[in-house]
Amino acid sequence: MSKSMDTICVHGKEHAVKDQNYAISYPIYQTASFSHLTPGHNPNGFGYTRESNPTRGLLEETVSALEGACDTVAFASGMAAVAAVFEYFKPRDHVICGEDLYGGVVRLAAVISAKNNIEVEYVDTSDLQALKAAVRENTKAIYFETPTNPMMHVTDIRAAAEIAKEAGALLIVDNTFMTPYFQNPLSLGADVVIHSGTKYLSGHNDTICGFLCSKDQKLAQHFRLISKTTGGTLAPFESWLCLRGLKTLALRMERHQSNALAAAEWLKKQDCVENVEIALIFSNYFKNIVDIPEKMCYKI
Ligand SMILES: *Cc1c(COP(=O)(O)O)cnc(C)c1O
């Protein structure tokens, strides 16, 4: 029987049998390197923590299970994950970015990608005609957040995936705000999902982390190569903090949703408020019985 998302959040990928001593809270492997039993022979495949570490590994498997990803790489911050995505591009590649993006991403594009001759063009991706019209021969990726930080603009992932496919470009979606609890971009046709795990995934304001979730092995291997080479990988203790935070993801997201609805309903009743718009986020219950509509923005 496949595990529910709530169960994966609480128990991680493997239900409490992953540790050799059956510890339920997975141990923090606070070690830089691992013993070679004989030269070149690490029985469990771990050699050096920049490359791989059991605590980070369990977190990566858990995020993969939540996002339905082939593989996930954990980074020391959301921006380290975004930077690894931009490492994918070569000079003269054209990248279409949503016009409302996390400020750090705009700075990365302006300061680093521009220097590397990567052409970043900002488009309102919620306007599918505009998105289609922006595609060029050298378009390598379409990249957006939905909903966006900070303006909460919503893009139809499924329709954008079709445009990306036709263009032979990657569709990269930053799913930080929805989290896998409310939205799985890979199941809607995205190739790569980015997270700033600093926000809802960790959820306790006590750690900075980021993730790249890949649709297939080829992309995953590329991101693993970039992460172990440039070295922005997530430390064991931070990995453990995020695993602990994830245990309550389902509960926190449901409460965020009901609090936001209550605030919207209250605002609607105020005479001085002209219009209330909310991004209606479906609870997991609805998610299982109805197809999520393309546009999730409703007037209430
Ligand atoms: C915060 C944020 C980032 C950057 O993540 P850090 O963990 O702060 O480096 C990227 N995208 C979105 C949508 C964010 O909110």
Q: In this predicted model, what pLDDT tens digit does every residue of 262-296 receive, in sequence order?
A: 888 888 888 888 877 665 544 443 444 334 443 34
Residues ≥6 apart with Cβ < 8 Å to 115: none
Determine if ligand 1 sits within 6 Å of the CB of residue 78.
yes
Full-model pTM: 0.91
Residue with tokens 């505009």: 130
pLDDT of residue 278: 60
Our mutation pick for probing the ligand 1 site, out of 79, 82, 207, counting the most ligand atoms within 8 A of Cβ, is: 79
pLDDT of residue 288: 42
CA angle 144, 150, 154 (to 5 degrees): 45
Give me the catalytic one of 13, 199, 247, 287.
199
pLDDT of residue 279: 52
CA angle 140, 142, 148 (to 5 degrees): 155
| CA atoms of 278 and 147, how far apart (whole Å) | 11
Is 93 assigned a catalytic role? no
With b for 16 or more beta-carbon neighbours within 10 A and e for fewer, the 190-214 pattern comes to bbbbbbbbbebbbbeeebbbbbbbb
Is 88 assigned a catalytic role? no
pLDDT of residue 23: 87
Is 298 assigned a catalytic role? no
C-beta separation of 173 from 247 below 8 A: no
Determine if ligand 1 sits within 6 Å of the CB of residue 147.
no
| CA atoms of 292 and 300, how far apart (whole Å) | 17
| CA atoms of 280 and 261, how far apart (whole Å) | 8
Give me the catalytic one of 26, 29, 88, 102.
102
pLDDT of residue 294: 39
Determine if ligand 1 sits within 6 Å of the CB of residue 210.
yes
| CA atoms of 139 and 119, how far apart (whole Å) | 9
Q: Which residues of the chain have pLDDT under 70?
A: 1-2, 14-17, 277-300
The 8-class DSSP code of residue 88 comes to T
